[in-house]
Structure 1
Amino acid sequence: MRELTYYIAVTLDGFIAGPDGQFDAFLYGGDHMAALGARFPDAFPTAYAEAIGLTQDRALFDTVLMGWNTYAVGLPTLTSPYRHLRQVVFTHREAEPVEGVEFADEDPVPVVRRLKAEAGSGIWLCGGGALAAQLAGEIDRLVLKVHPVLFGDGIPLFGRSGYAPEAFTRTASTAFDSGVTLLEFRRSSSVRLRTPTPASRDR
């Protein structure tokens, strides 16, 4: 069974973006970048990886999931940001067809369960918070790039989904001189209390 990994940058106060989707305060330089490139090459945009000579062999991830707001960050110029991967964008909007991108207007949970049953390597949940809240019960691994910044407000790591207990076990912690800390967790199989999250139009 394939695993779903939520791999994302987050602030000390738990936000993945500012109130208007800002993310420029995250640290894009420092010793953590080379380490992340070595560990998670498939999670870099294809064009960026090509520019820096990073090999992307799909060994870790071969599929990426995005909500519309996450996907729209690169629009209108970057319509297929992870063209080395199978790209699935969950949205209720009517989107123009894009080669290499699948737009899904349906409950993401059964989609993910179908993907997990297919052959291949891992599935990467790229964002955003509302989509992560809907898929919280399907996340097998949580990998957080915790940046030493505070946003004060914005888009939470798991959206605004209300209280629904989940338990994860920390499997690794790596601190970098840049101030970024990589925290890795695996779902605690003995605790699975989440109730389904209502579908959101703001993924």
Structure 2
Amino acid sequence: MRELVYYVAVSLDGFIAGPNGEFDSFLAEGDHMDVINERFADTIPTDFADALHIPQSRSMFDTVLMGWNTYAVGLPFGVESPYRHLRQIVFTRGRNATGESLEVSRDDPAEVVRRLKQEVGASIWLCGGGALAATLADEIDRLVLKRNPVLFGTGIPLFGERPYRPERFDEVATTAFESGVVLSEYRRAPSAG
């Protein structure tokens, strides 16, 4: 069965973006980038990967899920299909978008993920945002967090608004880089019972 992986950059204080969607404080240079670009090449926007000559095999991810605000980041720059090498599903209640390999869904995200998990393929990447991650928290199989050595103070939380309900994830691996970025991977702990 396919896994849903929430792979995202996060500040030390738990934000994936600033209050207006800012993410330019996350480190885009440093010794962590080669590892990330190699291992997670499928998560690089298609045009960037092409410009950097980074091959995207779709071996880790073949599908990406986004909320509208995450998707809309590229629209002012004319980017209507940021990850066209992947199947892109954008969840929105009332907006429309068109682009290569792009689907807009008004369906319940959890139901969509459960259907996707039954299909044959690579893992499913939850790109963001925090509200969508909160909605899909019960479906997330793995977390891969790129913790950046910055404090935001306020912004979009890693899991948006979510009721208090502790869930256990076990650490799989953690790599600390000289840049200060720490890449940590967690797998959902088996449920007791």
Q: Please indicate, yes or no, whether the TM-score normalized by the shorter chain is above 0.5.
A: yes
Alignment RMSD: 1.1
The code of the aligned residue for 1:55 comes to: P
Provide, for residues 23-73 of structure 1, a one-character-per-residue CA deviation record: whole Å limited to 9, x for no partner: 111111101111101111101000000111101010000000000000000
Distance 2:98 2:172 in 1: 40
Aligned residue for 2:17? 17
> Retained in 1: the 8 A contact 2:97–2:104?
no
> Retained in 2: the 8 A contact 1:2–1:116?
yes
Aligned residue for 2:61? 61
Aligned residue for 1:75? 75
C-alpha displacement at 1:172, in angstroms?
A: 0.3
C-alpha displacement at 1:179, in angstroms?
A: 0.4
Aligned residue for 1:148? 149
The code of the aligned residue for 1:30 comes to: G
> Retained in 2: the 8 A contact 1:8–1:145?
yes
TM-score calculated relative to the size of structure 1: 0.92
Q: Secondary structure at the match of 2:111?
A: helix
Provide, for residues 95-121 of structure 1, a one-character-per-residue CA deviation record: whole Å limited to 9, x for no partner: 143332100012100100000000111
| Matching of residue 7 in structure 1 with residue 11 in structure 2 | no
Distance 2:75 2:169 in 1: 34
Tell me, which stretches of 5 or more residues in structure 1 are unaligned? 193-203
Aligned residue for 1:157? 158
Tell me, which stretches of 5 or more residues in structure 2 are unaligned? none
> How many correspondences in the alignment?
192
C-alpha displacement at 1:191, in angstroms?
A: 5.3
C-alpha displacement at 1:12, in angstroms?
A: 0.2
Distance 1:142 1:161 in 2: 16
The code of the aligned residue for 2:9 comes to: A
Provide, for residues 78-134 of structure 1, a one-character-per-residue CA deviation record: whole Å limited to 9, x for no partner: 000000000000001231433321000121001000000001111000000000001
| Matching of residue 99 in structure 1 with residue 95 in structure 2 | no
Q: Secondary structure at the match of 2:50?
A: helix
> Retained in 2: the 8 A contact 1:166–1:191?
no
Percent identical residues: 63
Q: 1:191 to 1:80 in 2, by over 3 A?
A: farther
Deviation larger for 82-91 or 156-165:
156-165
Deviation larger for 39-48 or 93-102:
93-102
The code of the aligned residue for 2:88 comes to: Q
**Structure 1 stretches of at least 4 aligned residues deviating more than 3 Å after TM superposition:** none
- Counterparts of residues 1-203 of structure 1 (less than 5 Å): 1-76=1-76, 77-190=78-191
Q: Secondary structure at the match of 2:73?
A: helix
